Amino acid sequence: MQTNPIQRVVIVGGGTAGWMTAALLARAMGPQLEIALIESDEIGIVGVGEATIPQIRLVNQFLGLDEDEVVRATQGTFKLGIQFNDWGRIGDSYMHAFGDVGLPLGLLAFQHYWLRDVHGRTSAAGAGSAGAADVHGRTSAAGAGSAGAVDLWRYSLNAQAALANRFARMDKVGSSPLTGIRHAYHLDAGLYGRYLRQHCASPTVQRTEGKVVDVRLRAVDGFIESVLLESGETIAGDLFIDCSGFRGLLIEGALKTGYENWQQWLPCDRAMVVPSARVEPMRPYTQANARPAGWQWRIPLQHRSGNGHVYCSQFISDDEATALLLANLEGEALAEPRPLRFTTGMRRQFWNRNCVALGLSAGFMEPLESTSIHLIQSGVSRLLALFPDRHFDPTLSEEYNRQTRFEYERIRDFLILHYRATERSDTAFWRHCAQIEMPPGLARKLALFRSSGQIFRDGEELFTEVGWLQVMLGQRVQPARHHALADAISPAQLDEFLGNIRTLINRAVDSMPAHTRFVAEHCKAASPH
């Protein structure tokens, strides 16, 4: 039992970060903890986190939220993965799909059996022959009919369902050992924050409308004592959580924590964001389309599409970036493009004294792999696991910072891979990306895969071996060989193993309704006013 427990938490900032934090803390800690949340309706929300990864379902389940209700309330749709277009070379397209790819066999990961099949077919066809497939599962136009035998994504249920614009909730594929659909959501970030705010109508959470104009520190140790609002009200607390966005009012403005700039690895520093009219088909996946000096996202919602052009201002002007965004919308623009400026990186400490930064206050990595909301979720989970008392034992904050730094750096490396593993040389931006000096961990992972086809997950890093596999192969990182154990089965056994997986996946996809139909039948949102 704690002898000096935290009694009051003050959260500065609302939106998804603030209200997710408040909801999770209230649910986990119950009436023993008083939570004060300060937000101003006059301060806009960045709201680029409209695509999520499957871990968000754990948040909703913990909070006791009904999935259909969440999707309906946020004008949401379902997400099976991300399609990357023109990243390796212009004309390339691959999917980073959630869920498994294939099945392991014995002690060996699936990719080694797939690589054996690809290498065997490539050798049989002969280098340069029409229809010969490379290790990435691509064929020439003349040999497109043989692509199904070697295309990695034929072994991903999520990828096949996404490309067919189908969706269903499916835990397993029949009675087979194949795992089923693993999904996340596309959602309106503003509506999601509002939904959490309504759900969090708890007596332990007190919302105060107002702007913070001053932060008062204790003279004895520099801890935050209270915040002063524009109205003159003072709000004191034991633990302060900074959800104030890029401004970092507490973690940086008051505590001068410092920031690590990662632009040498992730050069994009601006974005133009605009909503557009909904178009059909309503895809169950996000699109990330490479552009001459960055990339553009498309996110399908029920009432509109979300679009953004992330770019590097060193290689393109704001006006050019805006024009390129508008020229590549699929539907009519519904508003004027909104500019964002950012510096990719993270705070030197996420937990400093009695302040924890979450969301954009903690750091920023462009939404290339939809990690923004997840980092809020994992930060709150980590805080709950290491929750302090009013003594604020420094070993707790040190461990929190160590774990959070690890998570941020591993996500950073995964994002760098998308830029670094390019064969494009058509613009100055892509030539620059191809020469980026890689962090040591990423360089080791790429070298190991190129030499042996092996991928090992680094501790509890967010992205799995299957995620790394899809991006590396999708961007033409070619393994020289497969594992020797993959040669232990006969060619006939290999053909049967791979063929059975393809058949099971095809049947499962054929049984699913169209994504648009599923949404209409289960979680159709009301028309926006």
Q: What is the pLDDT of residue 202?
A: 72
Provide the edge-to-edge strand list for the sheet that holds 259-261.
Answer: 259-261, 345-347, 363-364
pLDDT in tens, 56-85: 999 999 999 999 999 999 999 999 999 999
- List phi, psi (to 5°) of 327: -70, -20
Neighbours of 80 (CB within 10 A): 30
Beta-ladder partners of 212: 229
User: Quick one: which H or E segment has residue 123?
Assistant: helix 110-125
Mean pLDDT (whole number) for 183-201: 91
Q: What is the pLDDT of residue 42?
A: 73
Q: What is the pLDDT of residue 318?
A: 98
Could you tell me the two tokens for 482? 């497969």
Q: What is the pLDDT of residue 131?
A: 40
Could you tell me the two tokens for 324? 């390129």
Q: How far is CA 374 from CA 299, 407, 427, 444, in A?
A: 17, 11, 33, 26
CB distance 5 to 32 below 8 Å: yes
Q: What is the pLDDT of residue 43?
A: 66
d(CA 466, CA 455): 9
Nearest to 73 by CA among 89, 87, 60: 60
Q: What is the pLDDT of residue 121?
A: 80
Answer yes or no: is pLDDT of 476 > 60.
yes
CB distance 113 to 497 below 8 Å: yes
CA angle 395/396/400 to nearest 5° reads: 115
d(CA 70, CA 68): 5
Q: What is the pLDDT of residue 159?
A: 98
CB distance 215 to 254 below 8 Å: yes
pLDDT in tens, 124-183: 665 444 343 455 544 333 232 333 334 899 999 999 999 999 999 999 999 999 999 999
Could you tell me the two tokens for 329? 């919308």
Q: What is the pLDDT of residue 2?
A: 64
State what percent of residues in the chain have pLDDT above 70: 93
d(CA 411, CA 369): 9
Give the pLDDT band of residue 120 (cuts 50, 70, 90).
confident
- Per the listing, tokens 């040999």 go with 143
- Per the listing, tokens 């696991």 go with 385
Beta-ladder partners of 294: 291, 311
pLDDT in tens, 264-281: 999 999 999 999 999 999
- List phi, psi (to 5°) of 286: -85, 150
Provide the edge-to-edge strand list for the sheet that holds 351-352.
Answer: 205-209, 34-39, 8-12, 239-242, 355-357, 351-352
Q: What is the pLDDT of residue 92?
A: 96
Neighbours of 440 (CB within 10 A): 8
Three-class DSSP category at 177: coil
pLDDT in tens, 8-46: 999 999 999 999 999 999 999 998 899 999 999 876 555
Beta-ladder partners of 364: 345
The CATH architecture to which 8-79+187-261+344-392 belongs is 3-Layer(bba) Sandwich (3.50)
User: Quick one: which H or E segment has residue 273?
Assistant: strand 270-276
Count Cβ atoms within 10 A of the Cβ of residue 484 and give its class: 0-12 exposed, 13-18 middle, 19 or more buried. Answer: exposed
Mean pLDDT (whole number) for 346-367: 97
Segments making up each domain of the chain, as ranges: 8-79+187-261+344-392, 96-182+443-515, 270-341
d(CA 397, CA 401): 6
Whole-number average pLDDT of the chain: 92
Q: What is the pLDDT of residue 203?
A: 81
Catalytic residues: 79
Mean pLDDT (whole number) for 445-472: 96
Could you tell me the two tokens for 521? 């039948």
d(CA 358, CA 351): 9
Three-class DSSP category at 449: helix
Q: How far is CA 472 from CA 58, 154, 223, 265, in A?
A: 28, 17, 45, 17
